[in-house]
Amino acid sequence: MFLATELNLQNYKVQGRWRLLFLVMTVLLILPVLVILTLLVVRGGGAISWEFLSEFPRNGMTEGGIFPAFLGTIFLVSLALVFSVPLGIAAAIYLSEYAADNWLTRAINLAIINLAGVPSIVHALFGVGAFVLFFKFGTSILAASLTLAIMALPVVIVATRESLQSVPQAFREACWSLGATRWQTIRRIVLPNAISGILTGIILEVSRTAGETAPIMFTGAAFFLPFLPESVYDQTMALSLHLFVVSTQVPNVPENLPYGVALLLIGIVLTMNALSIGFRVYLRNKKKW
């Protein structure tokens, strides 16, 4: 009895040490993020105002606001979602629910995983060759959005496929035993129960596409435009490129201006992520299993 109590005490101490180690590692991961956010708020918070959000840049981009860049980022991210999310979900449904497990599908899955690790500059060169030159879209919002969609497509496919495969097979078998077709089972049972995981992939896509610079620099983003785009065939400004420009190419920029642009860009990403996460939690709470 005494020996068992001593062993339990030792196990408790070991678990406590491991728990402390994991806590320290978690704090070390979160601490740099908090430092960066604090630095941006302290140095860039003074630049945020209604004029900053609603005006065009002026005086060589050293004064004024970032309205066209803000609007251009919304355009690019929204169109990238429109192009990539339906295609990515459809591809994941086919690979998870219809395709046989053979060498071809395994090769496709491997290619999708490898595509997710391709550097963004390679996607940029592909966008120039495919959308700007071959399809003759020119340097435009359409070409830039399609490039971002191709870049983010693997993330959506992988996240959706994993979410579909996490739905218990018994759900499918129960539907089939009642006479439902494969598509009816997917549409009414599998997809509703996998939607929270699918939203995770979309959240990752939004975070990545909003901050990319190289793909849009070569395909559709402009250094400065004194007007708003009128169609998807026009160029646009974007916050990520604007941040790069005012930080490295424009002299005599107020110190708080680049920090204000960075703070706004992160604010957009965090807001979109918060809305998606809230919706995902709502859907997850409605699950019956």
The per-residue pLDDT for 233 is: 93
Q: Are 129 and 156 in contact (CB under 8 A)?
A: no
CB atoms closer than 10 angstroms to residue 155? 23
* Tokens standing for residue 269: 């990403």
Give exposure, 231-265, as e/b (b: 16+ Cβ within 10 Å).
Answer: ebebbbbbbbbbbbbbeeebeebeebbbbbbbbbb
Contact 242, 231 (CB under 8 A): no
101: DSSP letter: S
Give residues with Cβ within 8 angstroms of 278, minimum separation 6.
none
The neighbouring-strand residues paired with 63 are 58
Residue labelled with tokens 């979109």: 272
Name which of 112, 110, 142, 111 is nearest 127 in CA terms: 142
3-state helix, strand, coil in the chain (%, to 5): 75, 0, 20
Q: Which residue type occupies 148?
A: L
SS3 (DSSP) at 59: coil
Torsion 77-78-82-88 (CA) sign: positive
Q: What is the mean pLDDT of each run of 10 residues along the chain (289 residues)?
A: 60 78 87 88 87 87 87 91 92 89 86 85 91 92 93 89 88 87 89 84 81 88 86 91 87 87 87 78 68
**What's the confidence (pLDDT) of residue 8?**
66
Secondary structure (DSSP) of 220-248: TB-S--SS---STTS-B--HHHHHHHHHH
For residue 57, report the phi and psi dihedrals to the nearest 5 degrees: -65, 150
Q: What is the pLDDT, as a whole number, of residue 125?
A: 92
Spatial separation of the C-alpha atoms in residues 117 and 146, rounded to whole Å = 18
> Quick one: pLDDT at residue 289?
57
State how far the Cα of 81 lies from the Cα of 75, in Å rounded to an integer.
10
Torsion of CA 152, 157, 162, 167, to 10 degrees: 130
- Return the number of other C-beta atoms located less than 10 Å from residue 146's C-beta: 25
Whether 206 contacts 273, CB under 8 Å? yes
What pLDDT does 68 receive? Answer: 92
